[in-house]
Structure 1
Amino acid sequence: MNPLTLVKRIQNINKKEASLGISEDASWHAKYKDSAYVYVGGIPFDLTEGDLLAVFAQYGEIVDVNLVRDKGTGKSKGFAFVAYEDQRSTNLAVDNLNGAQVLGRTIRVDHVSKYKKLEEEDEETRQKKREE
């Protein structure tokens, strides 16, 4: 599905919930109450972890930024995962930053139900296996 279609779909759901006065517990966000991570897609390739931190920190304290990079070149792949200290901050980030323009690109921000960060050691082991 086109990423911009997903952006618009989330925006429409949020507008409908706001107009109906849906409670926090009944909101679609409640499904993700156990995850403090958000997915960020469509980001400009020259954005850094620090840039993401500056943008997303306005909605809560950030505890992790994983800007996904190409293992060979080290260049950004255009998406990232951001973790907040307080899960409620993810709702604010999704509601306010999904569809926002960042350096001329429309970014997609959505909840992540399950996120498992690869440990540095695991990545090094995988890299060694590839080199063999």
Structure 2
Amino acid sequence: MNPLRRIQNINAKEASLGISYYQASWHTRYKDSPYVFVGGIPFDLTECDLLAVFSQYGEVVDVNLVRDKGTGKSKCFGLVAYDDQRSTNLAVENLNGAQILGRIIRVDHVTNYKKKEEEDEETEWKKVLRASSLTMRRFVLQVYE
């Protein structure tokens, strides 16, 4: 059973049991993440094209189309961030399994995604702390020798 069919079955079961969408929906696990993963993107699509498609469900604040560093060609997957997290639910529900330029795309929630700049800043901060910690150790050793 493919992921799209599995999601549809879960939604149908919840509806038949009368379970509230906002209390028991599988979307609530991702309520803190504004990002969605997009896979199966056609090679010809650009960041602007993704923006046009995904902005139907809310205000898009970030589009990260992953590209090969050497050639600059798309790797056919990326991440899209919304201003309002509820838009991610709409995008996943409506675009997962949609066909764009002959390819079926996969859209799913993301839990722990950090933008590249944020990762770089965090890594730099850790390096500074590590270096200052080593400097302090050397200083303490010199004082006590």
TM-score bracket relative to the smaller structure = 0.7 to 0.9
* 2:75 maps to 1:74: no
Structure 1: segments with no counterpart, 5+ residues: 123-132
The alpha-carbon distance between structure 1 residues 19 and 102, as it changes in their structure 2 partners (threshold 3 A), is farther
Q: Give the one of 2, 6, 10 matched to 1:5.
A: 2
- TM-score of the superposition, structure 1-length normalised? 0.82
Partner of 1:58: helix, strand, or coil?
helix
Q: Give the one of 13, 23, 30 matched to 1:16.
A: 13
Q: Which amino acid aligns with 2:13?
A: K
Report Cα offsets for 1:19-60 as digits up to 9, x if no partner: 444321211000000000000001101100011011110100
Q: Which amino acid aligns with 1:88?
A: R
Number of residue-to-residue matches in the alignment: 119
- TM-score of the superposition, structure 2-length normalised? 0.75
Report Cα offsets for 1:2-21 as digits up to 9, x if no partner: xx822332233233334444
Give the match for residue 39 of structure 1.
Answer: 37
State the identity as a percent. 79
- How far apart are the structure 2 equivalents of 1:30 and 1:90? 11
Q: RCO (CA 8 Å, sep 6+): is it higher in 1 or 2?
A: 1
The alpha-carbon distance between structure 1 residues 41 and 60, as it changes in their structure 2 partners (threshold 3 A), is same
Decide which structure has the larger Cα Rg and report it.
2
Structure 2: segments with no counterpart, 5+ residues: 121-145
RMSD value over aligned CA atoms?
A: 1.9
Asked if the contact 1:14/1:95 (under 8 Å) is kept, the reply is: no
